[in-house]
Amino acid sequence: MTAQEVRLCGLLLQEHFGDVVEKVGTHLIRCGVLTLRALAHETKLPLDLVKKSVCVLVQHGMCGFGPGRRGPAGPVEYHVNCEHILHMLRYPRYIYTAKSLYGDTGELIVEEILQRGQMTMSNTIRTVADRLTHNMPEGQTMDYSEVVTAFSRLVETHFLQRCPPSESSSGSGDLPQAMKQPSDPESHPDCKGKRRRLSDDGEMDQRAAKKAKKDNNECADEGIYWQVNFERFHLHFRDQAIVGAVSCKLDQTSSEIVRTMLRMSEVTTPATAACTQALSANEIFRALPSTYNIERPILDQYLALLVDDPMEFVGKAGDSGGGMFGSRSARIFRLLLRKRHLEQKQVEDFAMVPAKEAKEMLYTLLSENLVQLQEIPKTPDHAPSRTFYLYTVNQLPTARLLLQHCYKTVGNLIERRQFETKENKQKSQRIEAILASLQATEADATQLAEVEEMITAPERQQLESLRHHINKLDSSENQVDESIFLLESYVNSTQTSR
């Protein structure tokens, strides 16, 4: 793991789980694999705290465990899955996607499971139904069956998956991969509809009957845990990005065509394939939504257009030039991406930038490692005066570099936000202390209101601006995460195809 990734993981763990888990987590990331005792010894924390932290991490799928180096008889060793921790940045996006696809119910289901790591189906349904009932007007209760339907649909479309069955505690045996259950709603246990007080529902089996206590809605699915399938969400985001890119480049109709193609290949193509399976034009025509009245010949034309487009649909190298270096540098960068190799003079001409500026910008990009220099000697002795120097962009290393920059950016954003919160916490605490002391002296209501207004008038503005800053920082985090996703997908897909 790179330094920036470790830093970001630490900040995320600290925000969600506290300092103790952060300490344990970052240490484990840095060391790779450790036993529990080594971890406790090196972090100098009490063993119980370390155990609790590791439990939290395992529960959320961020830490895995397995037989140690000494085999099944030796102590268990733990390692951290960094990608899982970094996914925490994307939780709002997952939840929002679930909302847009499956409504409020789906949204709450995904949110509960994300917050708790893994849950049984019955637990989830119960909690979600309670929350929905809470928000409904008086007298109405949420029907369990609706929640069950939403859950089943999430499972069918693979957005939720079953957790791998637990390995034995001594750690022997291989760790099974996360299983994607077949899309068979009958395969997961049934949960009762409306809430009932009686415990003798006919469908519960004996094990559940034994455990029936206060909780009379015990369903027969103990030990079956569900977790969010991040890969599936990522596929969805990827498809969204592709469709968005096509609609930017061409037009709305062609993006619809692409969307249809992608939807058709969802089930036939494995997730990491470089391109979808071949689909005939007939199939596409039949699958197009009826709202778009696309005639057959027009479809053919669009397809031809899409095929000719030189843009690669699956992920692109980052377009960061615009932000840090100005739009003209961005132009030069894009130019180099497209034309691969260019000489100094050609860069000036194509980018329509004055020579001096072009040189400066190229040099800046070069010093930031976004652009590389390629030598092509004319003579065997590589004499500089007789060598071509071409500027070029290496996409994969550049993408990686930008990805690291993104991680650094998000880390900076989080730190800045924490700094702002801490600074202003003191101020707001002071206000609260004044108010509390006033209440203690039993000033009457009007006096209180007066004082409150008096105090908070200048400070209200400060609090407002604080809120505004924090919102901005949070929003930036979300948007940088979109770039992170694109770059990560690009790096991963390029690596696997090599």
Partner 1 sequence: MAGQGRGRGRTQFNFNVDALGFGRGDALPTATHTPSPLFPPMQFRPVPLHTGEEVEYMLALKQELRASSKNLPFHIRAARTKKDVARYSDKYQTKEQKDNTIEWSPDWSRFPKELCIKVQKARKSSGKIQPKLKSENNSIQRRGSSKTRGTLEKKEEEQHSEEEEDEKKKKNDEQEEEDPDVDQDFEEEELEDETDYIMSYFDNGEDFGGDSDDNMDEAVY
Interface with partner 1 in residues 380-439 (CB under 8 A) = 382-385, 387, 389, 408, 412
C-alpha to C-alpha distance for 404 and 29, rounded to whole angstroms: 17
- Residues in contact with 6: Cβ distance below 8 Å, sequence separation at least 6, in sequence order: 26, 29, 30, 82
- Residues in contact with 239: Cβ distance below 8 Å, sequence separation at least 6, in sequence order: 259, 262, 263
Nearest distance in Å: CB 399, partner 1:
18
Nearest distance in Å: CB 12, partner 1:
10
- What string of H, E and C letters represents the secondary structure of 193-261? CCCCCCCCCCCCCHHHHHHCCCCCCCCCCCCCEEEECHHHHHHHHHHHHHHHHHHHHCCHHHHHHHHHH
Contact flag: residue 75 with partner 1 (CB under 8 A)? yes
Q: Which of 91, 230, 285, 350 binds partner 1 (CB under 8 A)?
A: 91
Short-list 112, 121, 90, 122, CA closest to 232: 90
Q: Which of residues 319-378 bind partner 1 (CB under 8 A)?
A: 322-326, 344, 355, 358-360, 362-363, 366-367, 373, 375
Beta strand 160-162 with 225-228: parallel, antiparallel or unpaired? antiparallel
What track of x and - describes contact with partner 1 for positions 94 through 123 (by CB under 8 A)? Answer: -xx--------------x---xxx------
Q: Which of residues 217-276 bind partner 1 (CB under 8 A)?
A: 223, 225
Beta carbon nearer to partner 1, 6 or 45: 45
Nearest distance in Å: CB 284, partner 1:
29
Q: Which of 34, 54, 235, 262 binds partner 1 (CB under 8 A)?
A: 54
Beta carbon nearer to partner 1, 185 or 323: 323
Nearest distance in Å: CB 308, partner 1:
30
Q: Which of residues 141-170 bind partner 1 (CB under 8 A)?
A: 163, 166, 169-170
Nearest distance in Å: CB 115, partner 1:
6
CA 196 remoteness from chain centre:
38
Q: Which two tokens stand for residue 28?
A: 């484990």
Beta carbon nearer to partner 1, 383 or 449: 383
Contact flag: residue 176 with partner 1 (CB under 8 A)? no
3-state secondary structure of 66: strand
Tallying the residues shown for the chain, one arrives at 498
Give yes or no for a contact between 254 and 243, defined as CB atoms under 8 angstroms apart.
Answer: no
Nearest distance in Å: CB 386, partner 1:
9
Q: DSSP string of 479-492?
A: HHHHHHHHHHHHHH
Nearest distance in Å: CB 91, partner 1:
6
Q: Which of 10, 25, 61, 171 binds partner 1 (CB under 8 A)?
A: 171
Beta carbon nearer to partner 1, 56 or 487: 56
Nearest distance in Å: CB 165, partner 1:
8
Tell me the sheet residues that pair with 78: 34, 65
Q: Which of 8, 10, 17, 34 binds partner 1 (CB under 8 A)?
A: 17
Backbone angles phi, psi at 316, to 5 degrees: -130, 160
Contact flag: residue 55 with partner 1 (CB under 8 A)? yes
# chain residues binding partner 1, by CB under 8 A = 79
C-alpha to C-alpha distance for 23 and 45, rounded to whole angstroms: 9
What track of x and - describes contact with partner 1 for positions 448 through 477 (by CB under 8 A)? Answer: -----------------------xx-xxxx
Q: Which of residues 192-221 bind partner 1 (CB under 8 A)?
A: 211, 213-214
First to last CA, the chain: 21
Sheet holding 341-343, edge to edge: 341-343, 387-392, 372-377
C-alpha to C-alpha distance for 329 and 327, rounded to whole angstroms: 5
